[in-house]
Amino acid sequence: MERGKYYMGGSVQGLELPSRVFPCATPAEVRATLPANADVLAFQCRNPIHRAHYELFIRALDAPNVQEGAVCLVHPTCGPTQDDDIPGVVRYRTYEVLKAEAANPRLRWAYLPYSMHMAGPREAIQHMIIRKNYGCTHFIIGRDMAGCKSTLSGEDFYGAYDAQNLAGDNAAELGMQTVPSLNIAYTEEQGYVTADVAKEQGLTTLSLSGTKFRQM
């Protein structure tokens, strides 16, 4: 059958949501849990959340372009991405433990049935669009978000701030604001501080890579 130049379409009716091993609220269900007329920051991740992540999105609530009374939607992707990824259902359980331990009224939790494509800046834009559909007004965007390394050289495929720059350039068109994530470091002297503070004060920092964390 020969395909022409134009397609015809109409309204789409969903018949049934797919079954999953962990709950994934729909955009409408998530929006119903968010406070009206408040800023909502989206925090995206694909790995178990460690303390530095927690410090990052808690501090983001005090960013200059975030209004008082804002909340943060912690919205991890739980689909498979790489061979060494911790399974989604295991990640979900770790998030639920942190949710219970934090018991922070400024946090909302939901899980996204999505697999990262490691597509760098363009994927960052996609994540902003997805989170806007879930009711978010701001997007916390990290260094080298959705980045990957060359399988030949081992070098980063995208620039460290390419995703932040592209997201910032397109934020107004998307009707969202970006909140660049802070670089949080753990120090022996003062606990968690920003990396700039640690460097300025000559503090002793301890680090643990994501790869090492998954191996543990």
pLDDT at 198: 74
The tokens of 156 are what?
């980063």
Separation CA 136–CA 30 (nearest Å): 10
In a domain, 17, yes or no: no
- The stretches in the chain having pLDDT less than 50 are none
Q: Per residue in 58-101, pLDDT tens?
A: 999 999 999 999 999 999 998 877 777 788 889 999 999 999 99
pLDDT at 140: 96
**Single-letter amino acid, residue 80:** P
Separation CA 38–CA 194 (nearest Å): 27
The model's pTM is: 0.84
- 199 and 175 share one domain: no
- Tokens 């946090």, located at residue: 107
- 48 and 144 share one domain: yes
- 117 and 42 share one domain: yes
Q: 202: domain range?
A: 187-216
pLDDT at 20: 87
